A and B are shown apart, each in its own frame.
Chain A
């Protein structure tokens, strides 16, 4: 069974479009995250939710909006996509904020 899953795995879209990435975890964890890994492979946190409550909101453009319908799911919606949004987006989950994080397989977003 996949512990943290993301869909889609690949996303190719044009500038200006709106897209969503979905994440689900079956580990029973309370905390979920979105990370962005750019072309230089730097892994940077974007958002974190704990029991559906937003607890970390890094300096991310307002075009990015996370939503957590329940503690097993965390989605990321991106409006008006820009070329600079091209990256791999990872979802992760952990039992609590300072514990080990488990990552999903990633979504490679390419904006053309």
Chain B
């Protein structure tokens, strides 16, 4: 099993709807979880970090962590065309003490 898995997409969501991005990870000891957004030709930009089970909200973004099921998700409310990008999930691999990135999900918001 790959350490951090994401559906590559593209995920197409109508403008104004909720976009839901999912990520699963294999290391049960993982403690740090991050979502990054990367526009084409640009560098990854941190959106959210989450360290404990449950939901964490920041503006239109909500990160959800479920350690028992080993998944972390990102919800984007009121999706805008400017949200169209690749979203990268990143998780620390406890045994190696490093952070591994998933391959990213391409999100396309339809105007």
Contacts and interface: CB of A to CB of B under 8 A. Distances in A.
A103 B44 contact: yes
Interface string A26-62: 0000000000000011111100100000011000000
Interface residues of A, number: 20
A100 interface: yes
- Looking at chain B's contact residues, the main secondary structure is strand
Interface residues of B, number: 22
A41 B43 contact: no
Interface in B21-63: 31-32, 34, 38, 42-46, 49
A100 B46 contact: yes
Contact of B32 (A41, A48, A56, A99): A99
B6 to A, nearest CB: 11
Contacts of B100: 45
Interface string A83-112: 000000010000001111111111000000
Given A90-B43, A103-B44, A103-B45, A42 B103 contact: yes
Contact of B44 (A42, A48, A56, A90): A90
18 contacts: A43-B44, A43-B101, A45-B98, A90-B43, A90-B44, A97-B92, A97-B97, A97-B99, A98-B92, A98-B97, A100-B34, A101-B34, A101-B46, A101-B90, A101-B99, A103-B43, A106-B42, A106-B43
Given A42-B103, A43-B104, 18 more contacts: A40-B103, A41-B104, A42-B101, A45-B98, A45-B99, A45-B100, A90-B43, A98-B31, A98-B32, A98-B97, A100-B34, A100-B49, A101-B34, A101-B46, A101-B90, A103-B44, A106-B42, A106-B43
Interface of B: 31-32, 34, 38, 42-46, 49, 86, 88, 90, 92, 96-101, 103-104
